[in-house]
Amino acid sequence: MKFKNHLIATLGLGILITGCNPQKNPDHSENLQNQDGSVLPFPRIASESQTGQTLAESKLAPWPKNKHLADDAPNVLIVLIDDVGFGISETFGGEVATPTLTKLAEEGIMYNQFHTTSICSPTRASLLTGRNHTRVSSGTIAERAVNFDGYTGIIPKTSATMAEVLKSYGYNTAALGKWHNSPANQTTAMGPKDFWPNGYGFEYFYGFLAGETSQYEPRLFENYNAVEPP
């Protein structure tokens, strides 16, 4: 597959992929002028169309195009595999043969330290936001979410995920596989669904919301819609 301007991540038994075509910049109520990315989403450029008394007296100007990505902007692939120690794969000195991972690593940069939180939901929240797990209310797994600061299981919208940031620049985003970052009491068809993957910058989601599911009769969702097992 050939992708252009993608964010791709597997978030623990799953993958996150950004789509093929840059999207339009999100709407913004203020026509601010700063386009350097210091404020996201990028402010919308003021329209040059002019409205007259009649259509004949009006002038329609094409919508100005904002381009925030270079032509050679890379696709982004993130793979998070749960419950696998840092030193398991041969890529990082372990005993499990991982030739494809090794090939990828040899073509790029390898880091020899990765600090996990020892459990999946907090590690995933930290990886998505670049913040300490308790700073994004993910001190434990989703099923154990409680009403204590740092442990509600709800990543605050003030801590943007990398998907939200890259989407603002023009990437298309998707998450595939395991999510496990929404409170368990909010993962039924009743919702609320504000804190599902689509609410965190992922334009497309296909996977399961819980910490685990059957390999033969998986309980899957496509965006907000349940996909019943065959």
Active-site position among 6, 20, 115, 180: 180
Which residue in 6, 68, 120, 133 is the catalytic one? 120
Q: Of 64, 17, 80, 128, which is closest to residue 5 (Cα–Cα)?
A: 17
Q: Could you give the 3-state DSSP secondary structure of residue 83?
A: coil
Q: Is 115 a catalytic residue?
A: no
- Written as one string, the DSSP assignment of 13-45 is SEEE---SSPPPPPP-SS-----SSSSSSPPPP
What's the CA gap between 78 and 68, in Å, rounded?
Answer: 22
Determine phi and psi for 9, rounding to 5 degrees.
-145, 135
Q: In the annotation, is 120 catalytic? A: yes
Tokens of 123: 């590690």
Residues 6 or more apart whose CB falls under 8 angstroms from that of 41 comprise 25, 26, 28, 168
Nearest-CA neighbor of 191 among 152, 223, 156?
Answer: 223
List residues with catalytic annotation.
120, 180
